[in-house]
Amino acid sequence: MKIKLVDFDIRGDARGSLIALEKEHNVPFDIKRVYYIFDTTDGVRRGFHAHKNLKQLAICVKGSCKFLLDDGTYKNIYNLNEPTKGLYIEGFIWREMFDFSPDCVLMVLADAYYDEADYIRDYKDFTAKVNKSKTKV
Ligand code: TYD
């Protein structure tokens, strides 16, 4: 299980800024999928799931939003408000996204194709699985 905030180098010049994301250089997995969330309805909260097995890197390329990450024991809130910042999430972690600014574009890179079977969408199932893994020696 791993959660990490990463800073990307800006290839900037007088014309503006550019950030390149490359497998193994600043993205620690083989990128299979990219999706982005935008035009989010005011006040909405989304996510509400954990993945059984997925590596993801979330970048708020425009605007801002917050991530609640919960490993079943500890909860932390991460504020994504710069396109230079990425939130790396690996392992069995419950996530909720909220406080989307009206202009927010949240881009997510993933190491696997979309697969509903990889999702745990019930918080009780999530905590039950966390507790089961804790009792294993
Ligand atoms: P959903 O999982 O509800 O989004 P979030 O967890 O961000 O709240 O996904 C919304 C819809 O989009 C749902 O019908 C599944 C579909 N979807 C894909 O087809 N591919 C994807 O990569 C993702 C993330 C979702």
Which tens digits make up the pLDDT trace of 122-137? 999 999 999 998 887 6
What is the distance in A from the centroid of ligand 1 to the CA of 51?
12
pLDDT reported for residue 66: 98
Does ligand 1 have an atom closer than 6 angstroms to the CB of 119? no
Query: Given CA atoms 137, 54, 106, 23 in this order, what sign does their dihedral have?
Result: positive
Quick one: pLDDT at residue 135?
Answer: 83
This prediction's pTM? 0.95
Long-range contacts of 37-43 (CB under 8 A, 24+ apart): 37/97, 37/100, 37/104, 37/105, 37/106, 37/108, 38/62, 38/104, 38/105, 38/106, 40/65, 40/100, 40/104, 42/102
Report the DSSP pairing between strands 75-80 and 65-70.
Answer: antiparallel
Task: Give the distance (Å) from ligand 1 centre to CA of residue 97.
Answer: 13
pLDDT digits (tens, 9 = 90+) for 66-124: 999 999 999 999 999 999 999 999 999 999 999 999 999 999 999 999 999 999 999 99
Catalytic site includes residue 49: yes
pLDDT of residue 115: 98
Determine the distance separating the centroid of ligand 1 and the alpha carbon of 86, expressed in angstroms: 20
**Residue 71 pLDDT:** 96
**What are the pLDDT digits (tens) for 39-49?**
999 999 999 99
